[in-house]
């Protein structure tokens, strides 16, 4: 399809202007077809950027190795360029939008020389759903086109839905590496140096401008940029929720169904929870989404959620048949792997895949790598943030209604993080405001290996949205409180705090996690079903009675008492930390209701 075939005059003008600024050799409007996907992959293989994998063992799969400077989201180069700095808040990077556009226009000038400009019309959410939104990404990366085919709904039907005047989020993307006459990528992942990378959001005008990175959330602009940072602003303005949440469907032995969403900071097992295989007999968990949920009120006053994405962009290391069988089965075909290791028979390997490295590998840097279990300092073969991009429809646990345009009615919200101490296995909020308080103090333990901070430090990541909220987090808390006022308490989801990561004195996990978490989900299910004799009311919320959660092998009654008690001293420290270090960050925008919750819990703990 050509530019002149575009029926939306605003879109056509925008594409024309982008082409004059970025001066690509050609412009192509993407149609989302299999032919197009195959052509994109062939282009990258021919450019030496991709390796086709073994067609017998991993049909339709391909491996990319990115540049070592381009392996993850770059939060330090991510900007919320609202008109006023105050609106971006203290937790976002800010540059004046006019100044930022000037700088980036300079970078964009001529940036696609020697390349093709692809125009990708995409829908986040089932095409035509009232909750879905349309975006159009302009990119010079065939890798991005192929990934967007999997992660979003791409194609002509999106343009038909957009019509001549519909609303879309314009998204610019360039890898920032023009090619001179005759020059080719020749096996070198194209990107710009770190200090030239920009992942910019203009919340008032709903625009995204990305430059210099070809990787993940920096480049697949439907995901974190549109579905979270820009959508969170639209949701605030329109009275709905755009959240960093998985969506799961759970069915009890009687065949009753509930839908639950959950927000956990990155690397706390959201994808694993969304695809969990229950150990509790008779229970079933199915997947609706693993990373993002958009929720709007239905006419019945309940919140309905859709998964705006169409694929999973999951972290490979640690994914194995025990931790996530459904993910492993999803990625057996038609999957793009990035920065994992390559085996001699052209399959993939990563740390904690469940078996030793089979022979000589090529690591994510393209070097030969032989596993040496004696060498504790051996560099990993797969980058710790190496990824698979796999189609959601290939997941054996995908719920049949995952693409229902109406969404699914949500009964519970879970919040959680890695907390070795204090926070119990599960705790139900007393009411909506108390639940918002719990979401606002979400934190997770970081390890010294991952970040340059002391091991054991808890990093607060409210609602798991810290890197993804497109406006001031104090206003975001206020928005959550206002959502609670829009419906009757019995229509709103109940709110729970969960913690699979409690450790004993010896530093060992007390709770086995993974499929055993179904025992906790069963208790949550019953609470949502109106069961009341399975809980006790405490200073911090409703805790399960000890016998209300059945014990997995290896967990003693004393263990259960430990992880289901109110650790009064620990909670007093928690409250003090929130009061002294966390809430003051948000200044006058921190809603008074949350300080009142803090006072009330403190009073109850001291009673
Ligand atoms: C992700 C993240 O990639 O949260 O989903 O970092
Ligand atoms: Mn995420």
Residue nearest to atom 2 of ligand 1 (CA): 266
Q: Which ligand is nearest to the CA of 293?
A: 2
Cα-to-chain-centroid distance, residue 470: 15
Which atom of ligand 1 is closest in space to residue 244's alpha carbon?
4
CA of 291 to the centre of ligand 2 (A): 5
Residue 492 tokens read as 């709103």
Q: Which ligand has an atom closest to residue 244 CA?
A: 2
The pLDDT assigned to 453 comes to 52
Q: From the CA of 73, which ligand is nearest?
A: 1
Among 153, 147, 159, 148, smallest CA distance to 124 is for 153
**Which atom of ligand 1 approaches the CA of 217 most closely?**
3
Instruction: Name which of 486, 498, 490 is nearest 530 in CA terms.
Output: 490
Beta partners for residue 287, in sequence order = 248, 398
Return residues with CB closer than 5 A to ligand 2 (ion). 291
Q: In the chain, what percentage of residues exceed pLDDT 90? A: 95
Q: What is the pLDDT of residue 456?
A: 67
- Determine contact, residues 476/256, Cβ cutoff 8 Å: no
Q: Which fold does the domain 242-311+399-606 belong to in CATH?
A: Phosphoenolpyruvate Carboxykinase; domain 3 (3.90.228)
Question: Is residue 392 within 8 Å of residue 125, measured between CB atoms?
Answer: no
Average pLDDT over residues 52-75: 96
User: Which atom of ligand 1 is found nearest the CA of 315?
Assistant: 3
Looking at residue 451, what is its pLDDT? 44
Q: Is 464 left (phi over 0), alpha (psi -120 to 50) or beta?
A: left
Q: What global pTM score does this model have?
A: 0.97
Does pLDDT of 340 surpass 80? yes
- Nearest Cα neighbor of 471 from 45, 88, 71, 64 is 88
Burial 37-56 (b: 16+ CB within 10 A, else e): beebbebbeebebbbebeee
- Ligand 1: list residues with CB < 6 Å: 73, 217, 266, 291
Tokens 């020749």, located at residue: 186
- In tens, the pLDDT along 390-446 reads 999 999 999 999 999 999 999 999 999 999 999 999 999 999 999 999 999 999 987
What pLDDT score was predicted for residue 266?
84
Question: Which residue in 507, 488, 394 sits closest to 445, CA to CA?
Answer: 507
* Predicted pLDDT at 4: 84
pLDDT at position 2 is 83
Ligand (nearest to CA of 243): 2
Point out the ligand 1 atom lying closest to the alpha carbon of residue 387. 3
Question: Contact at 8 Å (CB) between 364 and 386?
Answer: yes
Mutate to test the pocket of ligand 1, among 73, 263, 446, 465 (most ligand atoms within 8 A of CB): 73
* Mutation choice for ligand 1 from 199, 228, 291, CB with most ligand atoms inside 8 A: 291
Cα 244 to middle of ligand 2, angstroms: 6
| pLDDT at residue 454 is higher than 80 | no
Q: Is the pLDDT of residue 273 over 80?
A: yes
Pocket-testing residue among 147, 221, 224, ligand 1, by greatest number of atoms within 8 A of Cβ:
224
CA–CA separation, 377 and 43 (whole Å): 37
Measured between alpha carbons, how far is residue 189 from residues 171, 172, 209, 449, 496 in Å? 22, 19, 20, 27, 43
Q: 266 alpha carbon to ligand 1 midpoint, in Å?
A: 5
CA of 17 to the centre of ligand 1 (A): 32
The CA dihedral of 23, 28, 29, 34, to the nearest 10 degrees, is -140
Pair of tokens at residue 190 = 């194209």
Q: How far is the CA of 179 from the centre of ligand 1 (A)?
A: 31
Residue 551 alpha carbon to ligand 1 centre in Å: 32
Q: What is the tens place of the pLDDT at every residue in 173-206?
A: 999 999 999 999 999 999 999 999 999 999 999 9
* pLDDT value, residue 3: 85
Alpha-carbon distance 544 to 429, whole Å?
12
- Provide mean pLDDT across the span 37-60: 98
pLDDT over threshold 50, residue 278: yes
* Domain at 3-47+78-238, CATH class: alpha beta
Using one digit for the tens of pLDDT, what is the confidence trace for 17-47? 999 999 999 999 999 999 999 999 999 999 9
**Does residue 173 contact residue 115 with C-beta atoms inside 8 Å?**
no
Residue nearest to atom 4 of ligand 1 (CA): 266
Residue nearest to atom 6 of ligand 1 (CA): 266
Query: Is residue 522 predicted with pLDDT exceeding 50?
Result: yes
Rounded Cα gap, residues 603 and 601, in angstroms? 5
Q: Give the pLDDT mean for 586-599.
A: 97
pLDDT for res 35: 98
Position in ligand 1 atom list of the atom nearest CA 73: 6
Output the pLDDT for position 1.
Answer: 79
Residues forming the active site: 268
The reported pLDDT for the residue numbered 447 is 60
């Amino acid at each position: 399809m050509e530019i002149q075939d575009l029926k939306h005059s605003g879109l056509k003008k925008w594409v024309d202007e982008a082409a004059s600024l970025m001066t690509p050799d050609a412009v192509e409007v993407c149609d989302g077809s299999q032919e197009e996907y195959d052509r994109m992959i062939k282009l990258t293989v021919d450019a030496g950027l991709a390796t086709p994998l073994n067609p017998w063992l991993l049909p339709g799969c391909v491996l990319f190795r990115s540049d070592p400077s381009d392996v993850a989201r770059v939060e330090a180069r991510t900007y919320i360029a609202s008109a006023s700095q105050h609106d971006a808040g203290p937790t976002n990077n800010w540059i004046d939008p006019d100044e930022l556009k000037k700088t980036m226009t300079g970078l964009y000038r001529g940036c696609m020389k020697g390349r093709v400009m692809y125009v990708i019309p995409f829908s986040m959410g089932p095409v035509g759903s009232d909750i879905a939104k349309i975006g159009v990404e302009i990119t010079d990366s065939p890798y991005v086109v192929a990934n967007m085919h999997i992660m979003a709904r791409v194609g002509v039907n999106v343009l038909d839905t957009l019509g001549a005047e519909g609303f879309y989020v314009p998204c610019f993307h360039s890898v920032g590496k023009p090619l001179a006459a005759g020059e080719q990528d020749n096996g070198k992942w194209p990107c710009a140096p770190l200090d030239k990378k920009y992942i910019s959001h203009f919340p008032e005008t709903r625009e995204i401008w990305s430059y210099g990175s070809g990787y993940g959330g920096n480049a697949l602009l439907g995901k974190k940029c549109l579905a979270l940072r820009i959508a969170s602003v639209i949701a605030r303005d329109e009275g709905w929720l755009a959240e960093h949440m998985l969506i799961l469907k759970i069915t009890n032995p009687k065949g009753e169904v509930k839908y639950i969403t959950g927000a956990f900071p990155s690397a706390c097992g959201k994808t694993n929870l969304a695809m969990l295989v229950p150990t509790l007999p008779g229970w079933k968990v199915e997947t609706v989404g693993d990373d993002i949920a958009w929720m709007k009120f239905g006419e019945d006053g309940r919140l309905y959620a859709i998964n705006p994405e169409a694929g999973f962009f999951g972290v490979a290391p640690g994914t194995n048949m025990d931790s996530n069988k459904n993910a492993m089965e999803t990625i057996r075909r038609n999957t793009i792997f990035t920065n994992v290791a390559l085996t001699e028979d052209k399959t993939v390997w990563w740390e904690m895949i469940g078996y030793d490295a089979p022979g000589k590998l090529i690591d994510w840097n393209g070097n030969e790598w032989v596993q040496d279990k004696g060498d504790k300092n051996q560099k990993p073969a797969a980058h710790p943030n190496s990824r698979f991009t796999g189609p959601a429809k290939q997941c054996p646990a995908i719920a049949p209604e995952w693409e229902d345009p109406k969404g699914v009615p949500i009964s519970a919200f879970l919040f959680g993080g890695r907390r070795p101490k204090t926070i119990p296995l599960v705790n139900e909020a007393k009411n909506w405001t108390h639940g918002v308080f719990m979401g606002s103090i979400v934190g997770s333990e970081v390890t010294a290996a991952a970040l340059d901070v002391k091991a054991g430090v808890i990093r607060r990541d409210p609602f798991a949205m810290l890197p993804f909220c497109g406006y001031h987090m104090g206003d975001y808390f206020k928005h959550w409180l206002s959502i609670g006022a829009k419906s009757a308490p019995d229509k709103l989801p109940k709110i729970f705090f969960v913690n699979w990561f409690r450790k004993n004195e010896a530093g060992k996990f007390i709770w086995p996690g993974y499929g055993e978490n179904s025992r906790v989900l069963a208790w949550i299910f019953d609470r949502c079903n109106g069961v009341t004799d399975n809980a006790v009311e405490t200073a911090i919320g409703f805790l399960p009675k000890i016998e209300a959660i059945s014990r997995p092998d290896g967990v003693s009654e004393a263990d259960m008492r430990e992880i289901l008690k109110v650790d009064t001293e620990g909670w007093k420290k928690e409250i003090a930390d929130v009061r002294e270090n966390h809430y003051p960050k948000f200044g006058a925008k921190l809603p008074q209701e949350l300080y009142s919750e803090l006072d009330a819990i403190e009073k109850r703990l001291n009673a």
